[in-house]
Amino acid sequence: MVTIRNAGDEDWPLWSALRRSALAEAPYAFTPRAADWHRGEEDRWRTMSAAPGSCNLIAERAGEPLGMARIVPGDETGCYEIRSVWVAPAARGLGVGDRLLAACEERAGRLGARSLRLLVVPGNPAAIALYLRNGFTTSPEPGPPLPDGVTRQKVMRKAVSAS
């Protein structure tokens, strides 16, 4: 059975390992690069995990990590952002991504979110399909540019039901 849990302070090595795996396995899906993550990773983790209103989630089965996701308060009142979504290749197709997104929505709702926002690289059809399947829609607003300076990330949004 797949479980989703909040990552605690003691989980920084696991989160870091998952993040490095994500960046190595799917560099096309993320704007940070693996080399960027290695610099000051423990300090970065501790800062991220202490951020008010943030929640770092780990998907596991029988103690084996399968994926990750993170929510943080967005710049807009009542909007939370989903970041760092990744599922290990061996766990894809098992509903892990769906479970992570449901957990993000549930936790953001408990924190008072009225909407969720995320960014996705246009050349990542599997992630786009996951988000669409989970009720996200493409927003007309332009996302930030990718490193090529031309292509922009796609912005997707979803309303959160009141908890």
| Each residue's pLDDT tens digit, 32-55 | 655 565 556 667 666 766 777 889
- Model confidence, pTM: 0.90
Q: Are 60 and 66 in contact (CB under 8 A)?
A: yes
Q: Any idea what DSSP says for residue 147?
A: T
Give me the domains of the chain, ranges plus CATH numbers.
2-159 (3.40.630.30)
According to DSSP, the β-strands at 154-159 and 137-138 are antiparallel
Q: Average pLDDT of 121-144?
A: 95
Whether residue 79 is predicted with pLDDT greater than 80 in this model: the reply is yes
Higher-confidence position of 80 and 151 = 80
Structure tokens at 42: 């423990």
